[in-house]
C-alpha cells in the first residue's frame, strides 16, 4: 500500500517539477544574473532544483532575484555583488565566493556582458569598459575559481562563456585592445571584439586543461555559444527589437544541462563555427599572455599545488 501511495504521489507532481537535472542538485554560478538572459537562465536552473550562486551589481535586485529563485524551487541561493568593470572587485568577488563555504562549483557561467553605445566608457583600471567586463573579468574570475570547478563531484564540470554570432572576424592589434590611452572605438566594434575574445578564451582554456588530462582539471569542459538574438535591453539599445523574447532564450541554459555535458570541450554552439583566429597559435598565445599581464593572474600554474 505504501509503495502505491508513493507512486501516486510521484505522478501527481506538476510536470514542471520533473527534471533530469534536478537530481542530484548541482552548484551553478551565473554572473550577470539579475537581468536579461542571465536572469532567465537562473530561473530555469532554479526550477531544476539546483544550488545557485548569482552575481549582480545592484544589491536590491539581487535580493529580489534570490527570493524569486527560491520560490521557483532552487535548493539554495547566494547572491554576490561586484562591478566587473573593476578588476579589484572581480578579485573580491572570487574571494567572497571562496570564503562563503562553497566547496565546489559544477558549472561556472560567464554570462555578464555589456554594450556601451555610442562611445564606450573606460573601466576602473583605464581599459575599454566593454573589453574589461566581457573579457578581462571572466579571464580573472575563472582562474580564481578554477580549483572550485576542479573540485566538482559532477560527472562533467563546465565553464560556459557567452560569445556571440556578432563576434569580429579577426582580432585587432593587442595595443588597440589593451592600451589605456587608445581612443575609444564604436560601441558595436568594441562589443564584437570582446565576443571574439570570449570565443578565443574558451578555445585556449580548453587546450590548457586538456594538458592536465591526468588530473581533476582535465575533466573540465569549456563551452561557448551565441546566446541567440534576444530582445534584451542590450540588443534593443544597439540593434533594436529584432529578436526573440527573453523567455525563449535557452541556449545558455542548454549548455548547463545534460546537453552541454555531451559536447566537446572548446566548441562554439548555436551560431556557426566562430572566427578562424582560434587556429592562429601565435595570435591566441599573444592574446593570452597579454591577459595574464594585465589581470595579474596566470594559468601556467594549474595543478602546481593542491589548491590549483
Active site residues: 191
Residue 85 DSSP SS3: coil
Tell whether the torsion through CA atoms of 286, 149, 69 and 269 is positive or negative: positive
| Consecutive H or E run containing 54 | strand 51-56
DSSP string, 88-118: HHHHHHHHHHHHTT----SEEEE-------S
The alpha carbon of residue 13 and the mean position of all alpha carbons in its chain are separated, in whole angstroms, by 32
- Give bridge partners of residue 158 from the DSSP assignment: 107, 221
CA distances from 164 to 124, 224, 270 (A): 25, 9, 9
DSSP 14: -
Task: Enumerate the H helices of 13-161 as residue ranges.
Answer: 36-47, 59-71, 87-99, 129-131, 137-150
Sheet holding 158-162, edge to edge: 76-81, 51-56, 27-30, 107-110, 158-162, 221-225, 267-269
DSSP string, 164-176: -TT--SS---HHH
How far apart CA 265 and CA 238 sit, in angstroms, is 31
Residue 290, exposed/middle/buried by CB under 10 A (0-12, 13-18, 19+)?
Answer: middle
Amino acid at each position: 500500500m505504501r509503495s502505491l501511495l508513493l507512486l501516486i504521489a510521484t505522478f501527481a507532481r506538476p510536470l514542471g517539477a520533473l527534471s533530469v537535472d534536478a537530481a542530484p542538485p548541482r552548484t551553478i554560478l551565473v554572473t550577470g544574473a539579475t537581468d536579461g538572459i542571465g536572469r532567465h537562465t537562473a530561473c530555469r536552473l532554479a526550477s531544476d532544483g539546483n544550488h545557485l550562486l548569482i552575481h549582480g551589481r545592484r544589491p536590491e535586485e539581487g535580493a529580489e532575484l534570490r527570493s524569486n529563485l527560491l520560490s521557483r524551487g532552487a535548493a539554495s541561493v547566494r547572491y554576490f555583488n561586484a562591478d566587473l568593470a573593476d578588476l579589484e572587485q572581480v578579485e573580491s568577488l572570487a574571494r567572497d565566493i571562496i570564503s562563503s563555504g562553497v566547496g565546489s562549483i559544477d558549472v561556472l557561467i560567464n554570462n555578464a556582458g555589456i554594450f556601451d553605445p555610442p562611445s564606450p566608457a573606460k573601466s576602473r583600471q583605464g581599459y575599454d569598459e566593454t573589453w574589461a567586463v566581457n573579457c578581462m573579468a571572466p579571464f580573472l574570475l575563472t582562474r580564481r575559481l578554477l580549483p572550485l570547478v576542479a573540485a566538482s563531484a559532477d560527472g562533467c564540470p563546465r565553464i560556459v562563456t557567452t560569445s556571440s554570432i556578432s563576434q569580429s572576424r579577426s582580432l585587432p592589434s593587442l595595443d588597440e585592445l589593451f592600451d589605456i590611452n587608445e581612443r575609444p572605438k564604436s560601441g558595436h566594434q568594441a562589443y564584437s571584439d570582446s565576443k571574439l575574445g570570449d570565443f578565443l578564451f574558451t578555445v585556449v582554456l580548453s587546450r590548457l586543461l586538456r594538458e592536465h588530462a591526468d588530473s581533476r582539471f582535465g575533466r573540465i569542459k569549456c563551452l561557448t555559444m551565441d546566446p541567440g538574438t534576444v530582445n534584451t535591453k542590450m540588443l534593443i539599445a544597439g540593434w533594436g527589437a529584432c529578436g526573440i523574447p527573453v523567455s525563449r532564450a535557452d541556449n545558455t541554459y542548454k549548455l548547463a544541462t545534460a546537453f552541454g555535458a555531451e559536447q566537446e570541450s572548446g566548441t562554439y554552439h548555436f551560431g556557426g563555427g566562430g572566427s578562424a583566429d582560434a587556429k592562429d597559435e601565435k595570435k591566441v598565445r599573444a592574446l593570452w599572455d597579454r591577459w595574464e599581464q594585465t589581470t595579474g593572474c596566470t594559468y601556467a600554474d594549474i595543478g602546481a599545488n593542491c589548491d590549483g
